[in-house]
Structure 1
Amino acid sequence: MALSVIDLYRKVLPRTNCRDCGFATCMAFASMVVSEKLPLSQCPHLTDEMLARYQPELDRQYEAGKWTKKDPAQDALIWAQQRAASMNIADLPERIGGVLVQDGGKAYLDLPYFTGSVLISDTGIRKSDGAPLDRWEQVFLYNHLAQGGKRSPIGKWKAFDQIPNTVSKVKSMKAHVENVLQERFQRKVDELKRACEAIGGRAPTETELPSGEGASDLAMVFHPLPRIPVLLLFWDAEPDEGFDAKLKLLFDETIVEHLDIESILFLSEHLTRRLCEHPDRGDR
């Protein structure tokens, strides 16, 4: 029978609130054992017999996911892996870019990702240089694999709010991307340019610039993934004219074939974090 916090408190723990476990009360300790998988042995007043009886019971309910605290990143990763489970590594270079490589007798797709690359196999994704790849990035890349797109960019740019089915996410794009970058780089165009270049951005060619946007103070194009270009346009503030800074991210219209809406937003937020975290050394 599964052990709830109350069961653990009443049936197993000494209920003395001695704090020897590091928590203020036995109830607080019970809550951490049940929801956070804290080892029951951290209570020094339980006998070996009690630990042998109740820890396996707790382990079984952890395995079943009963009462444990949800891990959204892990749940999303499992879902994304299942979504991409039918992928064939050999088909990926033609569809999304990259090259096939062999490592230890195993086939991998070496896929460019920002300024580096990731190695994708049928068992997982890792950065080729050994650097950590967090679970949300893995979710993003699995969703890219699963989306099924194969077309190369066609040079028709769209703002996020011009992409179908983005109405519910437009406020998030503005709050977590546009506003953040506008405030961070207002009156700092040169710093923004250096930050863009540090994560693989470059000045677009004349043919890559969209018509009808007006001359921006800075335009930079990124290829975070081979088939997914992102164009950043920045107009700096002009206080004398009463204009605040303005920033737009534009996407090739084929992006919906390669990423779902959540993944487009994730990519935009991830790009924002990378730009804001870049240590500017222009004045040193």
Structure 2
Amino acid sequence: MALSVVDLYRDILAKTNCRDCGLPTCLAFASKVVSEKHPLQNCPHIPADLLARCETELAEQYSQGKWLKRDMAEDALQWARSRAASLAIEDLPARIGGELIRIGSDTLLRLPYFNGHLHILGTTITKEDGGQVSRYEQVFILNHLAQGGSRPPTGRWKGFVEFPNTVSKMVSMKGAVEEPLIAGFSGRTDELRQRALELGAQPMPSNAGSADVAVVFTPLPRVPVALLFWDATPGDDVQSQAKLMFDETVIEHLDIESIVFLSERLRQLLCE
């Protein structure tokens, strides 16, 4: 019989909120056990025979995925892998850039990525320098492979909001990208510029709006990203602003969710 949060709380736990498990309430403990595989044995007040029976029941429902909290990053990665699984690697350099190389008996795509390179074999992505590739990075890279775009950038820039179907993602772009950049670099534009250059950025050819920092990153050969940063002036009511701009062709190379993931990764690299 499966154990829900209510079952576990009502029939198994002491309901004393003693905090011996490290959580504030028995209900909170039950929720973590059921949805996050938190060890039931962390409650010291369950008799051994009852604990063994419950752990067997929990293991069964875990194997079925019942009531488990979804791992959104893993879901996104599996979807991206399924999109990219049938791609022919020999077609990729002409479409998205990079070059084919041989390592042992394998043919890989060596793809420029910020100021380094990635090695891509099937749906396996590694960094040439041995660094880690996070799951969300893998998501937007695999979606880039699968998106089907081939057009080079035109140099015509658009704000994120100018692309279709971005309204629901504006909160993420603001809260996870723009606001952390503002918090991290207000009054520190020289440091922002230096960090951008270390990531391979180049000065933006035309500085629209006379931003204090205007640079263009090339995270992927067909996907440039521009950063404009206006610093607050002391004694002025105008606050600092940060804005990412994308080439008009970006939606041919990335879906909207992946544009957000790429933007978050750029922010992480700048703020680390």
Give the TM bin, normalised by the shorter chain: 0.7 to 0.9
Gaps of 5+ in 1: 278-284
- The aligned counterpart of 1:148 is 148
Segment drifting more, 175-184 vs 257-266: 175-184
User: What does the per-residue CA deviation read over 1:41-98, in whole Å, with 9 as the maximum and x for residues that have no partner?
Assistant: 6667424x974x6545433322221011221111221222222222222222221112
- The aligned counterpart of 1:280 is none
- The aligned counterpart of 2:253 is 258
- SS where residue 274 of structure 1 aligns? helix
Alignment of 1:132-211 (within 5 A): 132-204=132-204, 208-209=205-206
Identity percentage of aligned residues: 54
Distance 1:232 1:126 in 2: 26
Cα deviation for residue 125 of structure 1 reads 2.0
Structure-2 change in CA distance of 1:276 and 1:30 (3 Å): closer
Alignment of 1:31-110 (within 5 A): 31-39=31-39, 45-47=47-49, 51=52, 55-110=55-110
Distance 1:171 1:37 in 2: 31
Root-mean-square deviation (CA, aligned residues, Å) is 3.2
Cα deviation for residue 251 of structure 1 reads 1.4
1:218 to 205, 213, 217: 213
Aligned residue-pair number: 269
Structure-2 change in CA distance of 1:194 and 1:260 (3 Å): same
* 1:235 equivalenced with 2:230 (yes/no): yes
Cα deviation for residue 10 of structure 1 reads 6.8
Cα deviation for residue 233 of structure 1 reads 2.6
Distance 1:173 1:27 in 2: 34
- SS where residue 133 of structure 1 aligns? coil
Segment drifting more, 53-62 vs 220-229: 53-62
Matched-pair contact (CA < 8 Å) for 2:193–2:213: yes
Gaps of 5+ in 2: none
Distance 1:75 1:24 in 2: 30
Cα deviation for residue 224 of structure 1 reads 0.5
2:271 to 243, 254, 276: 276
User: What does the per-residue CA deviation read over 1:117-154, in whole Å, with 9 as the maximum and x for residues that have no partner?
Assistant: 22222242222322222211111212212211111112
Distance 2:60 2:43 in 1: 20
Matched-pair contact (CA < 8 Å) for 2:85–2:123: no
Cα deviation for residue 253 of structure 1 reads 0.9
Cα deviation for residue 214 of structure 1 reads 4.2
Question: Counterpart of 1:147 in structure 2: which amino acid?
Answer: Q
Structure-2 change in CA distance of 1:218 and 1:63 (3 Å): same
- SS where residue 257 of structure 1 aligns? helix
Structure-2 change in CA distance of 1:236 and 1:105 (3 Å): same
State TM-score, norm by structure 1.
Answer: 0.78
Segment drifting more, 241-250 vs 216-225: 241-250
State TM-score, norm by structure 2.
Answer: 0.81
- The aligned counterpart of 1:116 is 116
- SS where residue 149 of structure 1 aligns? coil
Question: Counterpart of 1:196 in structure 2: which amino acid?
Answer: A
